[in-house]
Amino acid sequence: MYNIIILNHFYGHPALEDECSNKQRYAKLLKLIDIVHKDNTIFLENDTWKKDRKLADIKDISLIRGQKWIEYNDEQSIDEILQNIYKIYNIEINSNNSYIILGGTNTAGCLLRTAKIAAKNWLRKNYDVQFCLSICTDYEMDALSTVDKNQMATAILYTFLKDSNYIEKTDVVYDPRELKTYKIG
């Protein structure tokens, strides 16, 4: 089994979230990197790390540990990304051999519904999907505080999953240690 960890627009718009929440996301991402195994984990990220020194440093730590990273762009489809994984690492990812783990921004938007690599598109291809809320955030909600924005996004996430009959194929957790990840050894 493979862990496919998608960090979509991880940097986002930090000025629209409080400093404590931003720091928490990076700390939980470090924990995630610490608990997944290098032989069966692939991180997918767009070019966010190029403008985000913290994410670049976290990526460097992960690469030193031997973990795999692939950069994608917002125009690429899931199939194109999977072909890229095969081309670069000679690993064939399918719905029977992988967990899709989502983090980044915006929880109710790009991560759930609007991006080409959004959860709804993985779910339509019959993949099991997990959201790790401690590495997700939602800047675009029309609330006054980070807490309200993230609560609204979580409510949208739940309603979408329930109304689309995807509850059985999706897990939503807070702490990376709660994720269903395949561990080697």
pLDDT for 183 equals 64
**Residue 57 covered by a domain:** yes
What is the number of structural domains in the chain? 1
pTM: 0.94
Q: Does residue 170 lie within any of the structural domains? A: yes
Q: Looking at the domain assignment, is residue 136 inside a domain?
A: yes
Domain region containing 46: 2-178
pLDDT at residue number 50: 77
Residue 110 included in any domain: yes
Q: What is the pLDDT of residues 92-136, one digit of tens each?
A: 999 999 999 999 999 999 999 999 999 999 999 999 999 999 999
Block mean pLDDT (10 aa), the chain, length 185: 95 88 94 94 86 91 96 96 98 96 95 97 97 95 92 96 96 94 61
The CATH code of the domain that includes 171 is 3.40.50
Contacts of 6 (CB under 8 A, 6+ apart): 44, 45, 100, 101, 102, 103, 104, 111, 117
Residue 87 within a domain:
yes
From CA 185, how far away is CA 180, in angstroms rounded? 15
